[in-house]
Amino acid sequence: MKLTPLDVRKQEFKRIMRGYDPVEVDTFLDMVASDLEEALKQQKESRERIIELETQLKDYRQIEKTLQQTLLQAQEATGRTYESARREAETILREAESRGAKIVEQANADLAKLNGELYRLNTRRESLIGRLRVLLSSELDLLKTLDMGGAEELGVTSSLGTGKESVEVEAILKNIDNDRASQAH
């Protein structure tokens, strides 16, 4: 049976002769009841505080668990993001290398085409120069013939029938040779 402060205060003892002083016993019982009352009050406060602390501890453990889960999810998300970025970078690099190879291939093809065109143009130029030399040489021969006296007999003017003023053939040939020499450098 648990004693309460009220039980202690209402407790009554038999009266016998030579027993304890009733005032002293009542005073002691009041003190014990007060101390018991105070102890019960502190016990109740302690229990309430324990319940409050246990509730807080439970809340903190839940928060800790949530934070750990969030941290784990953040780490996983970071890992996935990193891996995704790495794969994307590799894809971009492969595409850039492929495009670069195509550009180099196209540039080489363009270079070959331009070299072919340059060769064709140089060949044509050489051909034209050769034909011009033959033409100028024949014209020079004609001029020499005309200078020997045949011009008066043929009735040829200074334009020699071409509709243009006469030109120094030797100067033209010299210019052509100079052009070839400068292009060779």
Q: What is the mean pLDDT of the chain?
A: 84
Tell me the torsion sign for CA atoms 35, 37, 43, 46: negative
- Is 141 within 8 Å of 134 (Cβ atoms)? no
pLDDT, residue 166, reads: 46
Distance CA 174, CA 181 (A): 11
The answer to the question of residue 14 being in a domain is yes
pLDDT, residue 126, reads: 94
- Is 176 within 8 Å of 129 (Cβ atoms)? yes
The answer to the question of residue 33 being in a domain is yes
The answer to the question of residue 124 being in a domain is yes
Which two structure tokens, joined as six digits, stand for 38?
A: 């105070």
The answer to the question of residue 157 being in a domain is no
Model confidence band, residue 15 (pLDDT cutoffs 50, 70, 90): confident
**How many distinct structural domains can be found in the chain?**
1
- The residue type at 120: R
Distance CA 55, CA 62 (A): 11
pLDDT, residue 28, reads: 85
User: Which residues in 147-163 are b (16+ Cβ under 10 Å) and which e?
Assistant: eeeebeeeeeeeebeee
Model confidence band, residue 124 (pLDDT cutoffs 50, 70, 90): very high
The answer to the question of residue 154 being in a domain is no
pLDDT tens-digit profile of 62-112?
999 999 999 999 999 999 999 999 999 999 999 999 999 999 999 999 999
The answer to the question of residue 29 being in a domain is yes
* pLDDT higher than 80, residue 1: no
The answer to the question of residue 159 being in a domain is no
Phi, psi of 49, rounded to the nearest 5 degrees? -65, -40
Question: What residues contact residue 13 under an 8 Å CB cut-off, 6+ apart?
Answer: 19, 20, 25
The answer to the question of residue 43 being in a domain is yes
Helices (H), the chain: 5-10, 22-145, 151-154, 169-184
Tell me the CB-side half-sphere exposure of residue 114, using CA atoms within 13 A: 6
Tell me the residue range of the domain where 139 lies: 5-148+167-184
Distance CA 67, CA 145 (A): 113
Q: Lowest-pLDDT range, 3-17, 49-63, 64-78, 111-125? A: 3-17
